[in-house]
Amino acid sequence: MFLRLVYESFRRQKRRKLLAGAAIILGVGVATAMIAVATDIGDKVNRELRTFGANLVVTPQEDTLDLQIAGVDLKAPSDGAYLDEGDLPKIHGMYWHNNIVGFAPVLPVVVNVGGATNVTLLGTYFSKDLSFGREEFQTGVRAIYPWWKVSGAWPGDDSQDVLLGERLAAGLGRKTGDEIDIGSQAHRVVGVLSTGGVEDDQIVAPLAVAQSILGRPGAVRRLYVSAVTKPEDAFARRDPKSLRGPEFDRWYCSPYVQSIAYQLQESIPHSHAEQIRQVAQNEGTVLARIKGLMLLIALAALLAAALAVSAAMATALFERRGEVGLMRALGAGSVSIAAIFFAEALLLAVLGGSVGFAGGAMLARMVGRSIFDSQITVDVVLFPIVIAIAVLVSFAGSALAIRRAVQFDPVYALRGEA
């Protein structure tokens, strides 16, 4: 009898049930899409933000040592401390090496060229082929600074060719294809570089060229690293020296910018790594705001669905007041009557939630392709969560109407005065 009452309700009130079901489908569909995007987009947004440059810098450990006597800083102002270029491939042996988008060593040297004095020549990798064990990879400024624009061609990392910053090229009256003398050696200008930064006033050359001019083979002054990281929280900011056992393992095995910096120091001897704070913190803020906005949209959609379900169920139950009065007159209790209506709401939630999940998955993929230009993966484990949300929305929307229904006076309900 119970199942027959539920069946007859759906058969005789198709319009009301379709309206309530449509509200659940739309609300749950939008919520599914937003939750899927918010949970899956973190790495994708981080990788998009990685196109804005490095978020970590590695320097020689000696640069962090302060030597003061009577308030006078006695640390040498020269750049006499260097990293060893041979240690750089070890980065791909660290725990979070798959999160390293790229890295670029730099070695600045002051040179005279074309009548201009004190011009900075910046040695670096452009797209250098490296290997660590059996793993081969490419890295350099072309990976971590994709907005650098070159009019002409990029130099080879094993060549003697150079790039001229656009302001320096204009001041020297040089262009692509010209030769310039740096020291006692001629170098071909293969391109003019535009970055919008200090590089526009510099010469950018392969790292080996700067090392040769300086007379220090294998020397690296700084290393800029672009890594996909997790936004920092209170746990991320804890001093690793104060952590023990499982706490340290959790910190070490989380892709915080601090833990990746810690592992960089482990990989490169005599180095000090730190985040470029403005870049790293802004990335975390942007990602948190994007996720917050998506969850807010999901909550708004679910609230709208609950209100629509409430209106539809209130109208449906008002039309069935005679049926409720008859059940009460035959001795049905409030729990039995409420159970019938909650069973209807549960069935609506399961059906609407299933359709909404499928629609939300398609919507999430559309959002991923159109906005983030990436494929959003909707995990199957999200399905029971979505069904639970649909049930919660359906019950929340139906509760008030069901409460009023079980309070119908059977006398007035049967006389049609309720």
Total Cβ atoms within 10 A of residue 86: 9
Residue 73 is predicted with a pLDDT of: 42
Most confident of 159-168, 340-349, 404-413: 159-168
Helical residues (DSSP H) of 256-333, grouped into ranges: 257-267, 277-319, 321-329
Percent of all residues in the chain with a pLDDT value above 90, rounded to a whole number: 45
Predicted confidence (pLDDT) per residue in 192-205, tens digit: 999 988 999 999 99
Q: Which band of pLDDT confidence, cut at 50, 70 and 90, is reported for residue 105?
A: very high
Decide: pTM greater than 0.85: no
Contacts of 220 by beta carbon, 8 Å cutoff, 6+ apart = 82, 83, 84, 85, 88, 105, 106, 107, 207
Predicted confidence (pLDDT) per residue in 142-167, tens digit: 989 988 999 999 999 999 999 999 99
Predicted confidence (pLDDT) per residue in 28-86, tens digit: 999 999 888 877 766 566 656 555 678 899 999 887 644 444 444 444 444 468 999 99
The answer to whether residue 259 scores a pLDDT higher than 90 is: yes
